[in-house]
A = this chain, B = another copy of it.
Amino acid sequence: METLQMYIDKLNKLNFKEMYQNDFFLTWEKTDDELEAVFTVADALRYMRKNNISTKVFESGLGISLFRDNSTRTRFSFASACNLLGLEVQDLDEGKSQIAHGETVRETANMISFMADVIGIRDDMYIGKGNAYMHNVSNAVREGYQDGVLEQIPTLVNLQCDIDHPTQCMADMLHVIHEFGGVENLKGKKVAMSWAYSPSYGKPLSVPQGVIGLMTRFGMDVVLAHPEGYEIMPECEEVARKNATATGGSFTKTNNMAEAFKDADIVYPKSWAPFAAMEKRTDLYGNGDFDGINKLEKELLAQNATHKDWTCSEELMKSTKDGKALYLHCLPADISGVSCEEGEVDGSVFDRYRTPLYKQASFKPYVIAAMIFLAKFADPAALLKRLEDEAKPRKR
């Protein structure tokens, strides 16, 4: 039987001291113990919520969200995580603010952080920019704390950058762990992270990059598949390669979707834009070359359209392990015959996996809350125990 003590015992065996007062940018900057700590606290928080035990560890405090791209699920996941811990979300809507009007990142970061315990940022549109921006914000508020401007260091949580999408990939991974009955069952499992056709263009690279950067850490055989010309950031492939070597798994690449799906235990078919094109777009935006951007968009859409056969069809699914690989997606998916004529996945495949897909998404609020919890409290295991002992109901 599941008990909170199980999670506490697990935490007590892990070393995650460095997470205290720290940020969460990229999964590969964290140790295995640290990632396991996130999974463990996420499960513990979910257990407590299910058992109506309040996990409100802040009496007051703000969680600042800064989204530079539209978002539903990440926005709500962040809001849910903050709320679960007692923080009130305050959106920094750059449109409503004076930021354009000659204000530096350093300044804004301090101005919004007087009562901020956490800042969640989504900035995934421009290669070389998003992650760098997050580091700028983090440095600024740390300096602000040292200078006596801020009374606390707000923890930064990367809600998607140009390199990684750690809250998504950690949620994906926690879902996989649950589906396979534990980390110990993952060794040797085959994962196909595959490009898939979408009628829209310019989707971020952070999911495929994050997935190969994370799933290679569990001794799995990770295959990255995409058509020629849809390369991701080389640095991320390098990370995957090193991880695979270290854990006895493998990381391979192919330009053949069928090859990737063959006997796969897990498939993650998803569209993304070519890395080189995204870099070009970043430059075009930088130069304000809107004709160039329009031209690039047309080219990319035309390029995409030559790969409509890259779709997660029933036929391809049949070729996976026992015909029933676990289908993953970060949602929303481009579903053929549902949200578009031809897209990333057959309607019948998507439908069959709807419940597991929603479960996959359901881990994200808990993963974010766990990241905050581990960054803000020196002894998370003891705090969980104390909350259990106090047994304050979340809902009367």
Question: Are A101 and B60 closer than 8 Å at their CB atoms?
Answer: no
Interface residues on A, range: 35 or more
Measured between C-beta atoms, what is the minimum distance from A162 to chain B in Å? Answer: 18
Question: Are A83 and B71 closer than 8 Å at their CB atoms?
Answer: no
Known: A115-B365, A147-B355, A358-B144. A395 touches B76 (CB 8 A): no
List residues of chain B with CB within 8 A of the CB of A339.
101-104
List residues of chain B with CB within 8 A of the CB of A335.
102
Measured between C-beta atoms, what is the minimum distance from A271 to chain B in Å? Answer: 11
List residues of chain B with CB within 8 A of the CB of A362.
110, 114, 149-150
List residues of chain B with CB within 8 A of the CB of A54.
59-60
Q: Is A35 an interface residue (CB 8 A)?
A: no
List residues of chain B with CB within 8 A of the CB of A152.
395
CA of A62 to CA of B62 in the docked complex: distance in angstroms?
15
CA of A111 to CA of B362 in the docked complex: distance in angstroms?
8
Q: Is A383 an interface residue (CB 8 A)?
A: yes
Measured between C-beta atoms, what is the minimum distance from A280 to chain B in Å? Answer: 23
B59, B62, B98, B104: the one contacting A56 at CB < 8 Å is B59
Closest chain B residue to A343, Cβ basis:
B102
CA of A299 to CA of B42 in the docked complex: distance in angstroms?
59
B46, B83, B108: the one contacting A62 at CB < 8 Å is B83
Question: Are B61 and A394 closer than 8 Å at their CB atoms?
Answer: yes
Known: A80-B115, A144-B358, A147-B355. A58 touches B395 (CB 8 A): yes
Closest chain B residue to A85, Cβ basis:
B60
Segment of A4-12, A86-94, A183-191 in the binding face: A86-94
Question: Are A102 and B59 closer than 8 Å at their CB atoms?
Answer: no
Q: Is A242 an interface residue (CB 8 A)?
A: no
**CB pairs A–B below 8 angstroms (27 shown):** A56-B60, A58-B394, A59-B392, A59-B393, A60-B394, A61-B395, A70-B98, A72-B103, A72-B111, A76-B92, A76-B114, A80-B115, A83-B88, A101-B332, A101-B339, A102-B334, A102-B339, A102-B340, A103-B331, A110-B361, A114-B361, A114-B362, A149-B355, A149-B358, A149-B359, A150-B362, A386-B396
Residues of chain A at the chain B interface (Cβ within 8 Å): 46, 49-50, 54-62, 67, 70-73, 75-77, 79-80, 83-86, 88-90, 92, 96-99, 101-104, 106-108, 110-112, 114-115, 117, 144, 147-152, 200, 331-335, 338-340, 343, 354-355, 358-359, 361-362, 364-365, 376-377, 383, 386, 392-396
Known contacts A76-B90, A114-B361, A148-B359, then 17 further A-B pairs from the complex at CB < 8 Å, ordered by chain A residue? A57-B395, A59-B393, A71-B97, A72-B92, A72-B103, A76-B112, A79-B90, A84-B115, A101-B332, A102-B332, A102-B333, A103-B339, A106-B354, A107-B332, A110-B358, A110-B362, A114-B364
